[in-house]
Structure 1
């Protein structure tokens, strides 16, 4: 299971729709500060249900919506979708691919979707509960969370352990059960209070009942003497009050029954949910076990394939080595003949080299004696030549000086010619450069004009772009207005359809006939009439009155059939208008009246016969004002006039009009309005499509203008202008330089002419010395020539002897070299034979090893196949167990659904009973107030209480005696004090209620016991599971801490001694080398980070999260710690997908995929991805 894709649109700085694809392994997200890379982690948190804006680094949740930039408008919605590959069924859903989507609008509305189906936030929270993947779980870790994990706030740290232990759902269930237990106890206390009050009431009513018996005796006599009218009025009120109280008591009884049933069903639901949770945990464990078994099978199968490949490789090695041994034997056989030949050749060459060495020594002795004579002659010649050289050198120096002076003179003369040519060349070059400068200045002026023209064109393009944008904004405004009009008219259409379909304004019988489908025509008279002028709809509707709700029938038989059914079923009243009774209109036509129109000109119908419509509208006119209608009605008293402002003048004594604040939409003309709305909606949709087309066309034009807006041409021309200006400056400088150099050359010519005259005089002074030295030299050269001839003869003989010496030496060296080569060849042949023999030995050893490897591999394959058969059986057993658990899970879910359905029905029933009880209580209060008022009045007048039974005047006493008797009975009644006349009935009712409430208390006590048992089971399961997981995490923490720190560093986790481990504090103790155990808060930033990472991966070893997002957690780490961090990341990346947001280059090196977040446009983030191959071929 892993994250495969993240899609963002309008989330924070990701204004455009951006897709991030994740692979299994390690993905690194990098980028400069402020580029928006952490927004990727925030998006994952947000889509998983994060509700705290502060966690998303915002003041309010609305800030996650892209808020616009200088060039972009703010968006109205933020949407993030996260695709999860549920390949290992970690998420409790049947889908292998799960897509979670969250949207937030600026209006504050939000949406959650699960696989593109709307859902609740609770559904998403429940989906990720106890998976380690929620927004608050350990799957998303950022640097500031390191401090939170390691701070003194133990609750934050304990949440990680609870998530890993999978007890979050137990805590949620326990919280719900505790809430229900509290409610049950509250209900139990309330019932106990009620029982105590009822018990007091029973005791009191028992005494009152006895007094009431005596009171009844007195009252029997007094009733005959009391006022008949007051008695009758009082009796009527009492008769109305008692049923209400009885009904109220019944409602209270039913309400208490329903409340008890709700509590009972709640307890049953909680128990079923607990069993379902246990089954789900067991199913998850079994699925994990089967996944492990499947992985083991895959490993064994892969191992068998690898071993078979190794066996084939060893067999191929044996064949190859045997072939190589055969080739080596052939090579050895081929070396025997060259070895013997080389030995014979070496012996012969050794003898020849010794003979040549002896001859060389004899020639060398003769050559040495002759060489001494030649050396003495050379010394004589050398002395003579030395004198010649000295004289020649002196002459040469004089000649050299003369030649130097001549050369200087000639050079000066040549330089004068060159300078004169240069002066001419500089003059011509200056003229050419001046012409070129004029051309460049002309081209420069033309380029500057082009720049001005292009800038004017760009300004025009900018104006066109601005105008096009205004047109686009106007078209978008029209598009939005079209959308608004369409929605408005669609809403109006829906409302009118609801008016037609609800039938709430029709009589009950009419509504029932339409809804049951018993009619051939399901329209009323108002439905079938069409009013051409909307101003008259309200007044025509009032004029129609109840006739507008008449149904249309083709015959009296049809109408009577439906009316008979209504009567027999007592389902209400209805009326019909018969279309077959009127075949033609009235005999006389309606008179033409000035200022009024016949109603039939305004009202029409496609479904009613014309005759019937004419009869219906005959004698009725419509006018535009009341004054006209009133005048016409006075003149034509039998006619009716309807005005556009809602008044009806039906005769000289009746005018109807006015308006009601609660007047509902009329059914009259609704169908015509619906048709008009359809036409209007269609027109607005056409306008919308036209606007959309205009926007597309204008956008294309805008894109073209934006492309043409490029100032590249201006930049190129300006660049050319700059180049031309540089060339002009260079040419001008060159012209000035040429003129200066011509002036320098003229001065140099004058100097050289003066130097030439001086050199000619020096040359004339050297000529006498040259003649004298030449004579001496000629004389010495004659004597030295004779000595040189004698030396040449000796050297010729010496050369001949030297050649003989060299021949003897060359012959000796040749034979010696050939002998050495033969010896080397013999040595090489013998070494080659030895090497080949060694190779045969090695290859035989390799063959033996390969055969042993083949035997070992065959045994390993056999053992692996045996293990594989056992694994197949275990996997099949696990699959059967999983199937059984899934069946039980499905059954329990069905039970949960049924119980929840019953609970919903019970709660609805309870709410209905509560509403009924409130209504009865209000009625009782009203009646009791009336009775109290009457009793107060009678008591003030007669000082008696009225009886409940019906009064009958049977007294025959005269007034005086009756007064005495009344006075006497009143004294007796007054002596009794306050008497409850209904004490007997109240006593009986109170006794029954006391018994009923006692049984209710027993039910609540049972429900309380069941909830306590459920809570105890939840606590026991969760605490055991939490302690087991804590022990595993603690052991793993020792290992991971040792991996990330130096040898000798120690750390530990300590669980506070608390009766409830789920509420106990978890403390982290660190022990760096050479220090006593200290709190984690005393460590450095890097040590804290490594400790938190060690804890995180210790949790992963127990319950690995399918993915982990680390947001710059490596920031405090140095290079050495980064290496440890990278090593443990690689280790866990086999089972967990890592997404790391980092600045560190070493961390980037471990990533398989690298995403770069840039901000080419300020305020808008953009992604660039690089995929690294894991295996790069050599």
Structure 2
């Protein structure tokens, strides 16, 4: 790309239109001082977007418009147009040639820019200039001041030249824009954050009010549902009671008459039994008297016999002197008595031994029973320990969520962070009967641990939470995103009657209404069959369109894949709570069984203790009886010795006394028999009397019952009348409440509301709800709508804040990326220029070397660029240590080095060689010829060495003071023009 034409009119001293045409190479512009030749430089800079009037040697932008002269009037408009050749396509404009223009009208303050005659933005012109490398800040325009700046500036200031050469201007421009946007974004963030905080302060009380209003509405609706159902039940229930009481009251009269008749009949029976009672009392009295008489006679005989026995004993002991016969008789009688007593003792001992044996057997059985009971108790205690241990493990697993995957566990443990939007795991939200758990668990498998949330935004929030906290992975089911699944009606009808068909899986699961879509999403298109054989048949009927699962957990997937067989008995989340409840139910039963066994063990131990004590007592009794028997045996032996000595005298006993005694004994036996007969008769009479009295008491009780029933019936009549009136009032009150509070008729309420709770529970709920509503106090219902508005605004601001935060991060990253590009380009330009600079320096100086280096290579963005040079025959030194001419030559060498390394399409040199001597001017001009192959030069100069080595010359003169005229000229004319200028200067000096 090259500049082929400059046109100006009304710009500075160009009152007349000028047009300069260039053909590449090196073009020189010469003219006396003040002729306006440098205005060509200003005109080009102005078109390329210069916005500073001072840079154009003015105070304000209107100063660039022709101000007038002695021969020409001021102009109101300035216009400059540049035409470029773009055949090489280095500029992105799709034309081989293009023009850019700038126009300013006096007083308007508005600049207009044109591209190929079409108005455009200043930004468009600046981008074209930057893209081409000829922007206002680039090396495309180099003045004597630029050379001086390179020599005199600090390393940091000097770096700006390299920034332009590296083409980072557009990046710095973008960075500036990005920083500006970042500042605006941050300002916007601050404003949004302030608004968010303001809303948050409003939301805190508003949410409380809305929550209170929400609770009030919920409680009121719940109260309506329960109380209307209760009122409907009142009307139906008490209406039924009213009708029932009417019927009951009609039967009270009949019941009263029946009871009175029964009382009358019972009184008659009681009277008859009283007559029988008197007769029995007389019989009993007579028998008692007769019994007393017999008992008196028996007592007399018994005394006589006792006295005779005592006498005989005294005779035997020798205390009474009797004859030998009496003594023998007494001895025999005593012997008989002793023998009888010994036999009785032997019998008692035998009985006691039998009882000891029986007690020993019972004791053995008791010991065995205690052993069995202890064994059973130990087994139950072992079972209890196992159950409690298993229950503790299950509860600990549930409490610590040890059965959950890491991600699921992390979310559940941070449930408070997510609040209500997090509903829980699938296993938490569905309830399955025990007989269906294996089937449903086989279908859901790990999906039982999926987390259910309200919407997808909550799921995204949870995923980000897991990522930021290294919390593992989890699967989320947003309720607003899922759709229910189902089995087609015609398919369902085709299998409902088939053997082995159980149900659609979703119908076997219970959930809260809000999660109905969840169970149908997970299980709505899954069919449950009884066993794998029938499942296969059903799958064939349905052409394998659906998953079939058996009650044992075998599955036939859609498409035909069959999964089944023996399954490990691992814990299922679905049956987890049921298993805990099952174990909790077992524990009380085991405790009761253990307690019962303890009671039985204690009873058996008591029984054993009693058996031991009984055995000791029996053995003590046997020992006592053995002692008694020995004593009796000794007495009998002595008696038999005495009796043997008196045997000879037996015949001499008094036979009359024996007969007398025999008669007394016979009389005693006869009286005893009579006594027994009397007692038996008396017992029978007394039993009859007792039975009669019982009948009388029973009849009296029956009569009392009838009387009590009658009295109760009479009281009940009054109570039923009261209850009837109360029921009627209850019905009327309930109807009035339905109408006044709920604006409902009974029929409408009965159609829509039904009491599904026990009355006591419903009444308690109504009382509790009324108390809860009362405790709420004043309620702001409008806060709900206000909360929605504020939360919507809050959410929008939060969304905007998040977007702005993201934009901020993008801008921060973009600035960092731009910095990387700038650093990379600056490093590259210095690396590229260093060899060129060294080469140009050696050429311009006739030898020596030069080098660029970073003042802080660790911070390129803030680092400056320093110059070290070593002319021939001198030591290496910093540029500041050289003379003015050397500095200029070093600076020009650096500029040429940059142009050599990074050629520009156009470069304007405005008297940059002014400080050089003639020899160096020649070197300067000759080097331009070397660079012109890649760069077009416009050289503003008045040095002969430069003018003689350019490809074309243009002159600038002021034929009319204040107005510049431009023209092309030959070298001789240029020299004359310069000489005239020098002559004019000399004359002025002489005059002074």
With normalisation by structure 2, the TM-score equals 0.39
With normalisation by structure 1, the TM-score equals 0.33
Higher helix share: 1
The structure having more radius of gyration, on CA atoms, is 2
